[in-house]
Chain A
């Protein structure tokens, strides 16, 4: 069983869902992010948030995968202040919905003043609602950006145990762990971590508070990054327990603090809404191949 706690399914196909399920992914978290180009109206944000708690959750359920999300204004689009102002007003409408496991992904991109302003505003919202926070660290000037993100969190007196710092690398891991935050690594070809490097990290730092995710989106990325990395860890002699912690349990423990994510959601009998979503709708209605002649070869 795996959890991918950072994957943008809105940009992925049903083949991906199928493959993820086959590879053992039982639950995913889709952070609210940008869509590759900046939006120009608040209505597009509303519809995006609404699709994260609606259509995408339903789509995932058809493949037997539980879909959760985080809600927030990403750092890139925080730079359009007029729009950002309207978007932060929307957030309380969505932040308390069923299946919303945190505020995210928020933080810095270019590390501008506007980014900092909306980062802080959203940290306050998370604090008020007692929700976990998922932090996107910048690609450029990463090390300083990561330190600064944590400084801001501490300034707002938020417990680091409620905060997941994402997109870490060899340069940032030590400080993030030392300061008591959850330390997530994105296995993403070219721009982020490769999975051999991930294995080395776990060999060096162990599994406490370390989380693996894919951040698969509309770029060249891999929605099977978590199970593939788990496989490589196992083959490299990392213990079963360390693999379980980094590729399943830590994400559940961190985001489970929202009260919105529980193992019984996908295993066990307590999952009523799961029954509703899953059993009545085990496959795509009206689109299910009925006979072998319907399957496209």
Chain B
């Protein structure tokens, strides 16, 4: 077991077991201890696959405090929106005693290559707690390449694996793809930490493409720029302040993060908007949440 899962495993088990009836609880306990004591590939595949048949498909019920507690154990990991079989499947792949990295990779390849949608989600959400994380970089990139948004979300959102493992170009593709697939950026862990000039250019170009087609852009799309703005970013800011209040706030927050002389003079020239953003205590997270609830009225994102 990885150090991360050693800390998280007992707590995650507790959250899963308390939701299970006697029979299901016993079944899972037995299977997991089997995988630890006598690891056999066939048992791994079957336990992993059969999960919903034995423990159902209910959501994992958690309080706010419990979600925070998990984040305290494994920074960047949020169990928000997880299901019971998803969590139990994560426990399953973590319970297995892998003798070495090669065996681990071979078993993972088997599980991934025959996985259905919910299994893929569970596998990708286990990335940050599996042993040998560096061996799964290609797999993670494949998850980012998918067009199944539930699967994409499992790799990209509420998951510390990308920020810890992806190189700059893979990271940049991920952020752009998240924008393209209309996924909420505020759920990407470590967004500002990975800002870079190349990504700023890509974001700016993407905005121009959308504007040329008379399409809207999410105000949070400027957030990944951080303090890595290109020279042309200031023209984008000028354009943003001609739009609605949230786009204006995005321009102000971007300028503050840029922290350059030009950005300061932009802020000075738009004092009123700075005050408006201040007064409303607007944050990137809020801009994101507001945008996504507007785009998906029925969605809990």
- The residues of A with any CB-CB pair to B shorter than 8 Å are 46, 49-50, 53-55, 57-58, 93-94, 96-99, 259, 272-273, 276-277, 279-282, 285-286, 290-291, 293-294
Give 16 A-B contacts (CB < 8 Å), ordered by A residue: A49-B114, A53-B115, A54-B116, A58-B151, A93-B45, A96-B49, A273-B57, A280-B153, A280-B296, A280-B299, A280-B301, A282-B296, A286-B180, A286-B181, A286-B182, A291-B215
Q: Flag whether B190 is at the interface (Cβ < 8 A).
A: no
Closest chain A CB from B8 CB (angstroms): 22
- CB-based contact B113/A46 at 8 Å: yes
Residues of chain B lying within 8 A (CB to CB) of residue A273: 57, 83, 118
Residues of chain B lying within 8 A (CB to CB) of residue A259: 53
Q: Tell me how many residue pairs across A and B have CB atoms closer than 8 Å.
A: 83
Q: Flag whether B105 is at the interface (Cβ < 8 A).
A: no
- CB-based contact B116/A98 at 8 Å: yes
- The residues of B with any CB-CB pair to A shorter than 8 Å are 45-46, 49-50, 52-53, 57-59, 81, 83, 113-121, 147-151, 153, 180-183, 214-216, 296, 298-301
- CB-based contact A58/B148 at 8 Å: yes
- CB-based contact A272/B114 at 8 Å: no
- CB-based contact B83/A276 at 8 Å: yes
Closest chain B CB from A17 CB (angstroms): 15
> Which secondary structure dominates where chain A touches chain B?
helix
- CB-based contact A50/B115 at 8 Å: yes
- Which one, A49, A50, A54, A286, contacts B148 given CB within 8 A? A54
Closest chain A CB from B207 CB (angstroms): 15
Closest chain A CB from B10 CB (angstroms): 25
Q: Of residues B81, B116, B119, B183, which shows the largest number of chain A Cβ atoms within 10 Å of its Cβ?
A: B116
Q: Of residues B149, B215, B300, which shows the largest number of chain A Cβ atoms within 10 Å of its Cβ?
A: B149
- CB-based contact A58/B150 at 8 Å: yes
Residues of chain B lying within 8 A (CB to CB) of residue A46: 113-114
Closest chain B CB from A294 CB (angstroms): 8
In the complex, what distance in Å separates the CA atom of A293 from the CA atom of B214?
A: 9
- CB-based contact B117/A54 at 8 Å: yes
In the complex, what distance in Å separates the CA atom of A276 from the CA atom of B85?
A: 13
- Which one, B58, B117, B149, contacts A280 given CB within 8 A? B149
